[in-house]
Amino acid sequence: MKKYKSVAVLGTQWGDEGKGKITNLLALEADYVVRYQGGNNAGHSISINGKRFALHLLPSGVLNEGVKNVIANGVVVDLEGLLKEINYVKEAINVDRVNLLISDRAHIVLPYHKIIDALQEDNKGVRKIGTTKKGIGPAYADKVSREGIRIADLYDETLFKSLLKENVKSKNELIKLYGGSERVSFTKLYNQLMEYREEIRDYVVDTSKLIFDELNSGKKVLFEGAQGVLLDIEHGTYPFVTSSSPSSSSIPVNVGIPTYMISNSIGIVKAYSTRVGTGGFPTEIDDDISKYIREKGNEFGTTTGRPRRVGWFDSVLVRHAARVSGLTHISLTLLDVLSGLDKVKIATHYELDGKKVDTILAGETDFNNSKPVYVEIDGWKEDITNVKSYKQLPKNAKEYIKLIEKYTGVKVYQFSVGPNRDQTVTLGKKIF
Ligand code: IMP
């Protein structure tokens, strides 16, 4: 069977694993970077030559010269956010046009989705999720209930006008039902969208056909996941998840290509665990160590600024991600953040009611009550931010990597010791 030059890069925990930097680095060799799910709820930060860039919706290859970037059908697109980000990138890298293509089948996020997202959160009891309030859940809900508006619909003026009119009417009713005081004006929104559609017109294509053809002709394609497997609507810690599927198993559907075209799957694995929003977190810690890690790792949300919850590395979670996403490689990030700790711990499995548990249990309460069982080793004191090879790592850091490989069952292909691209050490042979 033909081997396609494709690699999926995805988060294996609850997001914020440092995907932006790794994707951007791998994108140096790619012809295409394709975002396949989520929207501007994501926050990817990338440092190039000491300068930090924050991206939300645009694929992480937009800052690299010569790489084509694609927003595929599985993404939900907030046009206002998209256009702002396009301008931000144009200024940042001093170009007239960003190298971008957008699927004509992608759904759009509209102002009423954001209002409803916030109201739904305010009205929730035990299932308050702590969403980013970017309208992601309501936009995907419209998509599956077949009330959504796609990019292609913007160019079918008669249909679009009635679609938007119906939607604005029903959404204003819903807002009222939730007790919200805001109302969306059809005329204002319609006029705004008519302007936006002209601004994006040149970017819009059938991206499914494009990627299929390009892979067939030998082009190198990188699929960029947002969030992480544990936030996956299907395979995450439901209901405290996002509304799309970051797992690489979703790429064929979200991009419109056959499953056999995905050759490699790199799981981005943070050297410890973090989570934003609510939901179970077996290895969570709240003490001087978590404070140390939060400050040192700058564990504050890129999109919301919220402090992230912090915990020890949990191999149960990463084994789960490896299974549902078929990980072929691990890229281990933020290893430098652990320098200076006396001891470091890895959860190997859980215990629940005296029994060993080595998977994520589906029941919310069972998962919340799963108690981690750890292996503990001595930490390392050395600053490793200038390490350029595996050999240069302190002995205990090497042991830590070996334990991660042992308990996740996946080889560490790369490790990262700082925010810059050149603070990444690659161990295996080139992926493309
Ligand atoms: P939503 O995606 O805004 O609906 O939020 C659902 C859950 O996913 C919340 O717990 C968010 O904090 C989380 N989430 C969404 N995007 C990200 C991300 O890029 N990183 C980490 N968590 C995220």
Question: For the segment 340-390, what is each residue's pLDDT rounded down to a tens digit?
Answer: 999 999 999 999 999 999 999 999 999 999 999 999 999 999 999 999 999
pLDDT average, residue stretch 153-168: 97
pLDDT at 38 over 90: yes
pLDDT category at 31 given cuts 50, 70, 90 is very high
- Residue whose CB lies within 8 A of the most ligand 1 atoms, among 17, 19, 41, for a mutation test: 41
Report pLDDT for 182: 97
Residue 276 carries which side chain, given as an amino acid letter?
A: V
CA–CA gap between residue 262 and residue 260 (Å, rounded): 6
pLDDT at residue 48 tops 80: no
Contact 266, 431 (CB under 8 A): yes
User: What is the band of 241 on the pLDDT scale with cuts at 50, 70, 90?
Assistant: very high
Q: Which atom of ligand 1 is nearest to the CA of 136?
A: 4
| pLDDT classification of 167: cutoffs 50, 70, 90 | very high
Q: How far is the CA of 187 from the centre of ligand 1 (A)?
A: 31
Q: Are 150 and 109 in contact (CB under 8 A)?
A: no
Gap from CA of 18 to ligand 1 centroid (Å): 15
**Token pair listed for 296:** 């040192």
Atom of ligand 1 nearest to the CA of 43: 19
Which ligand 1 atom sits closest to the C-alpha of 16? 20
Mean pLDDT across 146-169: 98
Task: Tell how far the Cα of 54 is from the centroid of ligand 1, in angstroms.
Answer: 16
Nearest Cα residue to atom 8 of ligand 1: 242
Residues 273, 262: Cα–Cα separation, whole Å:
27
Residue 239: cis peptide before it, omega within 30 degrees of 0? yes
- State yes or no: is 235 an active-site residue: no
Q: Give the pLDDT confidence score for residue 4 in this predicted structure.
A: 97
pLDDT in tens, 106-150: 999 999 999 999 999 999 888 899 999 999 999 999 999 999 999
Provide the pLDDT confidence category of residue 2 given band limits of 50, 70 and 90.
confident
Q: Which of 31, 44, 78, 314 is catalytic?
A: 44
- Tell me how far apart the alpha carbons of residues 339 and 217 are, in angstroms, rounded to a whole number: 45
Looking at ligand 1, which atom is closest to the CA of residue 226? Answer: 19
- Residue 304's pLDDT band (cuts 50, 70, 90): confident
Q: Give, in order, the Cα–Cα distances in Å from 236 to each of 328, 361, 364.
A: 20, 11, 11
Give the per-residue pLDDT at 272.
Answer: 98
DSSP notation for 281-318:
-TTEE-SHHHHHHHHHTT-B-TTT-PBPEEE-EEHHHH
pTM: 0.95
pLDDT greater than 80 at residue 204: yes
Ligand 1 pocket test: pick from 231, 241, 302, 308 the residue with the most ligand atoms within 8 Å of its Cβ. Answer: 231
Instruction: List, for residues 378-431, the tens digit of each pLDDT value.
Output: 999 999 999 999 999 999 999 999 999 999 999 999 999 999 889 999 998 888
Statement: residue 212 has pLDDT above 90 = yes
The mean pLDDT value of the chain amounts to 96
Separation of CA 56 from chain center:
9
Average pLDDT over residues 298-311: 89
Token pair for 347: 């959860």
Confidence of residue 1 (pLDDT cuts 50, 70, 90): confident
Q: Is 16 a catalytic residue?
A: yes
| Residue 64, strand partner residues | none
Once rounded to an integer, what is the mean pLDDT over residues 5-26? 93
93-97 long-range Cβ contacts below 8 angstroms, 24+ apart: 93/63, 93/65
For ligand 1, residues with CB inside 6 Å are 14-16, 41-43, 129-132, 134, 136-137, 226-227, 231, 240, 242-243, 276-277
Residue 63 Cα to ligand 1 midpoint, Å, equals 24
290 has a pLDDT exceeding 80: yes
Question: In ligand 1, which atom is closest to the CA atom of 137?
Answer: 4
Q: What is residue 150's predicted lDDT score, i.e. its pLDDT?
A: 98
How far is ligand 1, taken at its centre, from the CA of residue 1, in Å?
38
Q: Cα separation of 367 and 279, whole Å? A: 10
